[in-house]
Amino acid sequence: MRRTPLPPEALDATDRAALNALQDPLPLVPRPFAALADRLGLTEAALIARLAHLREIGAITRFGPFLDAAAMGGAFCLCAMEVPGPRFDEVVTLVNAHPQVAHNYERAHRLNLWFVLACEDPKDISRLAAQITAETGLPVLCFPKEREFFIGFRVQA
């Protein structure tokens, strides 16, 4: 995935309008791009070509379903640890060795290690957290999601 900004001229005004509109839910109808194209004053074919181009230059990573992982079944939990600096690499190796560790970030804070556990069963979360504590000798704080708020996030292109 591209990690650096595209030059501003990579997207023209129509690309930007299309990208903003394509972040809204695609209608589930046989010709989903046609209605959207009308709104943008484009033909269906032109909109699809723009979308393919946006994907090609890396302005979007994909065009498809956004899944709610938890709704699929399975359990997820954000966890954090306070790892002493000299032990950091060793502890990261122990934590990352678990395939259930999906993401792991170093963050600038007293709690400097933040990772997500993804398990089949909610019971596995606390068991695995306890296992990581046993392996590292360090407490694992669990921050399960109690409520998810509706997200209005849109990248303005």
Partner 1 sequence: MIPDATDRRLLAATASGLPLTPAPFAEIAGWLGLSEDEVIARLRGLQEAGIIRRIAAAPNHYALGMTANGMSVWDVADEAVDRLGERVGALPFVSHCYRRPRALPGWPYNLFAMIHGSSRDEVQQKRTEIAALLGDACRGHDILYSTRILKKTGMRLAEGG
User: Within positions 39 to 68, which residues make up the interface with partner 1, using CB under 8 A?
Assistant: 44-45, 48, 51-52, 54-55, 57-68
147 counts as binding partner 1 under rule CB under 8 A: yes
Residue whose tokens read 């306070």: 82
- CB 110 → partner 1: shortest distance, Å? 8
Number of residues that bind partner 1 (CB under 8 A): 77
130 counts as binding partner 1 under rule CB under 8 A: no
Give the number of other Cβ atoms within 10 Å of residue 112's Cβ. Answer: 17
138, 81 Cβ separation under 8 angstroms = yes
Please identify, using beta-carbon distances, which residue of 99 and 137 lies nearer to partner 1.
Answer: 99
Residues 64-123 that bind partner 1 (CB under 8 A): 64-69, 71-73, 78, 80, 92, 96, 101-111, 113-115, 118
Give the residue, chosen from 5, 84, 85, 137, that forms a contact with partner 1 under the rule CB under 8 A.
5
Task: Write the CB contacts of 15 (distance below 8 Å, at least 6 apart in sequence).
Answer: 50, 53, 54, 59, 157
Residue 27 DSSP symbol: P
* Closest residue by Cα to residue 121 from 67, 76, 78, 69: 76
Please identify, using beta-carbon distances, which residue of 137 and 155 lies nearer to partner 1.
Answer: 155
138 counts as binding partner 1 under rule CB under 8 A: no
* Closest residue by Cα to residue 79 from 148, 147, 139: 139
